[in-house]
Amino acid sequence: MTHNLKRTFAMLLLAIFGSTILYNCEPDPDSLGEQLFNDDAAQGNEIAYPVIAYNYSNNDSIRSDAARLISGVNESGAASYVGVLGAFTESQFGMQRASYVTQLRMPVDNYDFNGANPKVDSVVLVVRPPANTAANTYFFESDSLKTNTFEKSDFPVDGVATAVSIEKKTYPVRKYGKIGGGSKSMKINVHEVTTFLDSNDDKFKRSNAGTSISTGELLGSGVFDGNINSLSITKKSDNSVVFTGNLGFRMKLSNTNFFQTHILDKKGKPELQDAANFIRYFKGIKISVDETDKYLYQFSPNDLQLIMYYKYDKTENGTTTRPQTNLVFNLGGSNAHIGLYEYNNAGTPVANALAASNSNEGDEKLYIQGMGGPSVVMKIKDETIADLKKIYVEKKAGILSAKIRVYVDPLSWKNTNSTEDRKFTLLTNPLVSNTIDFSKLAYTSDLSTGLGLYNYNKDKGYYDFIVTKTIKDLVEGKTETVGQEQVPIVNKPLLIGAGTFAANATGTLLGVRNTTRAFDMNRVILTGIDKTNTNPKRIQLMVTYATKK
């Protein structure tokens, strides 16, 4: 696997049977089989075995609260979060639409609004992208920057017309779905939430919680054209900065009367007394889209801003003025956060495949989709392990490499309109076990290369999932510690889903539950089993072993 290929696809895969984890990417002879042919010439033999692989339904639901929207942890220890907005419809997987719900809080308890008679001027919602990093440049197209600079002679600064210079930088966001033409713009709505979001209630932790969450007044709408902007305004006279708007999409909310009656008019009243009262009074906001067939894109929940600009009475030396100031609501931190996902895949190939899924024999096409869509289960046959054990005993064979090879289906799915990460999380079936010994993981500080536990051959369109140590441990009858006992390692299924494992700034994985599945927009169709065993692109286990001459 070349360095460029690794960087291009930024791939990640964990291959686990029980608690045994492979930590060598290269399909070359390694120390696992050296004792059988050291100092002697070894002859490699490759043999292919069928693999049971079938579609696994997640019931269009996934844990998508704040605990699952974590993409990583930065150097200061703060968690980075990712949410998804938008909608996309295509023939294989149907419609997938993403909305977002969050609580919000006042900046301080018993906020006094600086003075008497506060009145709303405007309210702005700012949606920002997750930060680009060396590990993930998926969020916006940093190489497609457009900069426009222009001047205004009458820009109001403290009520005075002032000559200013305005610089606007524009980046297109990375889109998953339709791109260009009539598809580039989406209408985004912001509604009041009227259901108390109890973060301890399990029904508010999953992506299908939308049926339990009611909305009230429409606070405003805006058209997102697929671009995010930053803005800098400076005075011409002395180059002092008048305004800086960090990278994001700014949407002016039209329902200022709501904020006047629900916030400013409640000055000094119990509703604003503390956070506990406030989140039961103003329960939150929902951000959603009207459309069903545009695109999905990612944003940073903790960097959302809801800014209320208002004027108030200020009296000094007997003179009353009405200066403007602003209140920035807190939408991050300890607030409840929920990614809400809707699906309509009735009559689609994915729905038909899930309905007919055969866990005993396997399925001919395998569907993988992030954000609660389907996963794939792979199972190496017990007969295969028995046959390899026989070779191991009778031929004194040492296993050099083992990989599950699975092809991308060339006919039924090719997403030509969007950038695909093609990242996968591979776990033992979580219904069986969630135990992973992270001390055995070989991680790299260069996050762009991922774990390197599988190779993707772009030209030939297949993945090689490396399972050398796993197969060797099963064949050689190795044991693992369960409680206080040593028990044989057993042959468990592999659950494959779109996404990666989240890590901190140094590359340490955050835990088995911290994956990007809850906000991974990707999907792919793979070629599964072939009952006739004639399709050269059927899924197979490829084992290379060596014997002494």
Q: Express each pLDDT in 109-128 by its tens digit.
A: 999 998 899 999 999 999 99
pLDDT band for position 435 (cuts 50, 70, 90): very low
The DSSP element (H or E) to which 451 belongs, if any, is none
In the prediction, which pLDDT does 136 show?
43
Q: Distance between CA atoms of 469 and 15, rounded to whole angstroms?
A: 10
Higher per-residue pLDDT: 527 or 431:
527
The DSSP element (H or E) to which 449 belongs, if any, is none
Q: Determine the 3-state secondary structure of 468 from DSSP.
A: helix
Residues 247-305 have pLDDT tens digits of: 889 999 999 999 999 999 999 999 999 999 999 999 999 999 999 999 999 999 989 99
pLDDT(374) > 50: yes
Q: Determine the 3-state secondary structure of 364 from DSSP.
A: coil
Residues 6+ apart with CB under 8 A from 472: 32, 33, 399, 402, 478
| CA quadruple 469, 471, 474, 479: dihedral, nearest 10 | 10
Q: Which amino acid is at 110?
A: N
Q: Distance between CA atoms of 390 and 60, rounded to whole angstroms?
A: 43
Q: Distance between CA atoms of 355 and 349, rounded to whole angstroms?
A: 10
Alpha helices in 105-236 (DSSP H): none
pLDDT(393) > 50: yes
Bridge-partner residues for 228, per DSSP? Answer: 171
Residues 36-62 have pLDDT tens digits of: 333 444 457 899 999 999 999 999 999
Nearest alpha-carbon partner for 526 in 403, 411, 419: 411
Lowest-pLDDT range of 137-141, 233-237, 386-390: 137-141
In the prediction, which pLDDT does 24 show?
29
In the prediction, which pLDDT does 495 show?
83
Lowest-pLDDT range of 59-63, 84-88, 104-108, 155-159: 155-159
Q: Which two tokens stand for residue 117?
A: 């008679």
Share of the chain above pLDDT 70, in %: 82
In the prediction, which pLDDT does 142 show?
55
Lowest-pLDDT range of 53-57, 274-278, 449-453, 479-483: 449-453
pLDDT band for position 207 (cuts 50, 70, 90): very high
Lowest-pLDDT range of 211-220, 283-292, 441-450: 441-450
Q: Distance between CA atoms of 448 and 353, rounded to whole angstroms?
A: 34
For 370-522, list the strands marked E by DSSP: 375-380, 398-407, 424-428, 454-457, 462-466, 479-482, 485-488, 494-498, 503-504
**Please, which contacts does 411-417 make with residues 24 or more away whose CB atoms are closer than 8 Å?**
412/92, 412/349, 412/365, 412/525, 413/92, 413/523, 413/524, 413/525, 415/90, 415/176, 415/523, 417/175, 417/177, 417/178, 417/179
Angle between helices 382-394 and 468-475 (to 10 degrees): 70
Residues 126-140 have pLDDT tens digits of: 999 886 543 344 455
pLDDT(31) > 70: no
In the prediction, which pLDDT does 20 show?
27
pLDDT band for position 446 (cuts 50, 70, 90): very low
